[in-house]
Structure 1
Amino acid sequence: MTLYYSLVFLLLVFEMAVFLALIIPLPFTIKRKLFAFISESPIIAKLQYGLKITFIFILILFLDSVNRVYRVQQELATFTKDGATVGAAHLGTDRMEVQARKFYSQRNMYLCGFTLFLSLILNRTYTMILEVLRLEDRVKFLDGDKKAGGKDSARLAEAGSVGEIGALKKELEAKDRDIETLKKQCEGLTAEYHKLGDQVSSSKGDKNEKKSL
């Protein structure tokens, strides 16, 4: 197995581990805090962005493996026709080589396909669990549970996808930095304005002194 297909396999194992972690039964309070943390974590936001790019490359590998399977299938059909006329013993080695290539191509196709399919399942599962947590929290709040409807619930209500709040926090930090830069520029312009004002007033004072003399 080549390096990139080995990485795809590791990603598939990682997705299976994440899926098992999502479906593990946990107390409602712990699960609510956990998903609230995931929703606002900037690290999860960066990981999500990196995985999106990775899945694009996996999709390309999947399409390439499908093409290879089709081409190998065509070669096998050609060998079958030639074997009927030339003889199976003459083409046995070549046929085994083509069958081995077919096996590896099919393996790579299934590996990439299952990885992409499991990514869709993970996304849907996470969204459904978020929705269930919101509804459970809403029911508890309507039943008079004072612990329901707190900060974690508000965070879950605002979390549309993994790392959405973290991404918004990064945008807010960038805007804060821009505001600080503008403040510094404004302070510099104000200092220059006062400096020019002092120079103008001093020059006027010198002119008045000369006139009085």
Structure 2
Amino acid sequence: MTLYFSLVFALLVTEMVIFMTLIVPLPHSWRRALFTFISENPLIAKLQYGLKITFIFILILFIDSVNRVYRVQLELSTASKAQGAGGAAVLGGSERMEVQARKFYSQRNMYLTGFTLFLSLILNRTYVTILDVLRLEDEVMKLKGEGGAKGDAAAKLGNAGEPGEIARLKKQLSEKDRDMENLKKQVQSQQDEYNRMGDEVSGSDSAPKKDR
């Protein structure tokens, strides 16, 4: 195994160790402290930036390994077809072993680089998911603390916090608003009727004075 593929293998083992560390059940305070350290440490931020560049080179190695596997497989397929057609042996024993060895090494490199890239994606999504879970847990704990501080106010409101009670109160409020609107319409109609009757009375009182 060449030096760069040895480094890729070391990176794969490191990713496996990190993944096992992330999924190990820890107390909330420990896990929160760990992820706070990872998120805020400038050295780890630089390391992550370097790893992004490293994964770009690993992707290039993966593409090259896939290309090598395809070429070796094509070479073996061509040799097998030539032998099946009754021609002379295209590849001798040592040559065929050499081609098989190249195929094995190409496949090994392809799997090594492929699994390293795949595990990097899993680590990234796991890290983001755990951060979201920690944020939600902090919000839940905060809401629970506020709920305890407002316990006296909730006791005064009775069952206002129970399921369905808020909807019932909203319904009562909308009914009161509707009753208020109907009452306003009735008052307005009575006021208009009163004004009309006042105008008629005023007109009947002024008519005899004009005749005189």
How would you bin the TM-score normalised by the shorter chain? 0.5 to 0.7
Superposed displacement of residue 61, structure 1: 0.2
Q: Displaced runs of 4+ in structure 1, greater than 4 A?
A: 87-90
| Number of residue pairs aligned between Structure 1 and Structure 2 | 146
Normalising by structure 2, we get a TM-score of 0.66
1:61-101 C-alpha deviation (Å, 9 max, x unpaired): 00000000010011001110232224569623222211111
Which residue in the other structure is 1:79 paired with? 79
Contact 1:12 1:115 in 2 (8 A): yes
Cα distance between partner residues in 2 of 1:90 and 1:73: 14
Contact 2:72 2:103 in 1 (8 A): yes
- Report matched runs for 1:1-213 at 5 Å: 1-84=1-84, 85-86=86-87, 91-144=92-145
SS in 2 for 1:26: coil
Larger radius of gyration, structure 1 or 2? 2
Normalising by structure 1, we get a TM-score of 0.65
Contact 2:65 2:110 in 1 (8 A): yes
Structure 1: gaps of 5 or more residues: 147-213
Larger RCO: Structure 1 or Structure 2 (Cα < 8 Å, ≥ 6 residues apart)?
A: 1
CA RMSD of aligned residues (A): 1.8
Cα distance between partner residues in 2 of 1:133 and 1:112: 32
Shift in alpha-carbon separation, 1:109–1:134, aligned structure 2, 3 A: same
For residue 33 of structure 1, what is the amino acid of its counterpart? A
SS in 2 for 1:25: coil
Shift in alpha-carbon separation, 1:72–1:23, aligned structure 2, 3 A: same
Cα distance between partner residues in 2 of 1:77 and 1:126: 44
Contact 2:79 2:91 in 1 (8 A): no
1:173-207 C-alpha deviation (Å, 9 max, x unpaired): xxxxxxxxxxxxxxxxxxxxxxxxxxxxxxxxxxx
